[in-house]
Amino acid sequence: MLISDELKEKFEAAKRVCVLTGAGISAESGVPTFRGGGNVAVWKGMPFDQISSVRMVRENLAEVWEWFDYRRGFLKDCQPNAAHFALAEWQNKFDDFTLVTQNIDGLHAAAGSRDVIELHGNINRAYCTCCERRFDIRGAIPHTPENCDECFAPLRPDVVLFGEMLPIGAFEKAEKKARSCDLFFIVGTSALVYPAAGLAELAKYSGASLVEVNPEETPMSGFCDETIRGKAGEVLPLF
């Protein structure tokens, strides 16, 4: 059995539970991960951290949009999987449940999760490069409008690129919950990107039990109380 009796008991007794998810939780929905299996996502020969970069937004926004519109088109056909649905059930099971995601795909909300803390933004929103007004671009592929209807500046995807700040308040809210939870799950993330990965460390230092669900080892694995080597869609419904 993948889940130890000790962990099952902790899970049943827990009052405050926090879950941090990453791209791996959407892998079984057909969404490609960024890293994993020794590979890095590539678009037109460019590693993703080159095309999804602040520099590219400044120098070639059209190319950035092409990459994001391609992914938005792809995501239109992706549905939440058993892992997303399991987490949507967990929100009704505990006194205090917090779901924090690095994903921009919106699949947690599509599975019924409420108040998801999206640390890295959402692919179905854009914002004005001048006044930062937000636009819902769900369903519009390619994205429309292309320019802000207030100040006419071009829009960019509402996602957090390397070196950019996280959405105001999002990390602070997640940090508060991580510091006060009994159980912290880290699911489907390579745990390489900060400050998101730091939430697991904060939780552990604050006394929570740390549980990893990932088919591969990560830099966080040795720090966890339990590591479950399996796919999120197969493991999470077992709780």
**Active-site residues: which are they?**
120
Nearer to Zn ion, 2 or 151 (CB): 151
CB of 150 to Zn ion, least distance (A): 5
CB of 152 to ligand BJW, least distance (A): 25
DSSP state of 233: H
Q: By CB under 6 A, what part of segment 46-85 binds ligand BJW? A: 48, 52
Interface with ligand BJW, residue 108, by CB under 6 A: no
The helix (H) or strand (E) run that includes residue 36 is: strand 35-36
User: Of all residues in the chain, what percent are helix, strand and coil, respectively (each to 5)?
Assistant: 35, 20, 45
The separation between CA 160 and the C-alpha centre of its own chain, rounded to angstroms, equals 11
Choose the one of ligand BJW, Zn ion, none that binds residue 228, judging by a C-beta under 5 to 8 angstroms depending on kind. none
Choose the one of Zn ion, ligand BJW, none that binds residue 232, judging by a C-beta under 5 to 8 angstroms depending on kind. ligand BJW
Q: Which SS3 state, helix, strand or coil, does residue 195 take?
A: coil
Interface with ligand BJW, residue 24, by CB under 6 A: yes
The helix (H) or strand (E) run that includes residue 70 is: helix 61-75
Interface with ligand BJW, residue 156, by CB under 6 A: no
36: its two tokens: 């994993």
Nearer to ligand BJW, 48 or 85 (CB): 48
CA 200, CA 210: separation in Å to the nearest integer? 7
Quote the Cα angle for 151-126-40, to 5°.
140
Q: By CB under 6 A, what part of segment 80-99 binds ligand BJW? A: none
**Residue span 109-148 as binding mask against ligand BJW, x where in contact by CB under 6 A, dash where not:** -----------x----------------------------
Closest CA to 39 of 30, 48, 31, 28: 48
CA 209, CA 13: separation in Å to the nearest integer? 12
Segment lying near ligand BJW (by CB under 6 A), choices 92-100, 124-132, 146-154, 214-222: 214-222
Contact (CB, 8 A) for 187 and 214: yes
Task: Give the residues across from 155 on adjacent strands.
Answer: 128
CA 198, CA 213: separation in Å to the nearest integer? 17
Among 113, 122, 214, 227, binds ligand BJW (CB under 6 A): 214
**Residue span 162-201 as binding mask against ligand BJW, x where in contact by CB under 6 A, dash where not:** xxxx----------------------xxx-xxxx------
Under the rule (CB under 5 A), what is the footprint of Zn ion? Answer: 128, 130-131, 133, 148, 150-151
Residues in touch with ligand BJW (CB under 6 A) = 22-25, 27-28, 33-36, 48, 52, 102, 104, 120, 159-165, 188-190, 192-195, 213-216, 218, 231-232
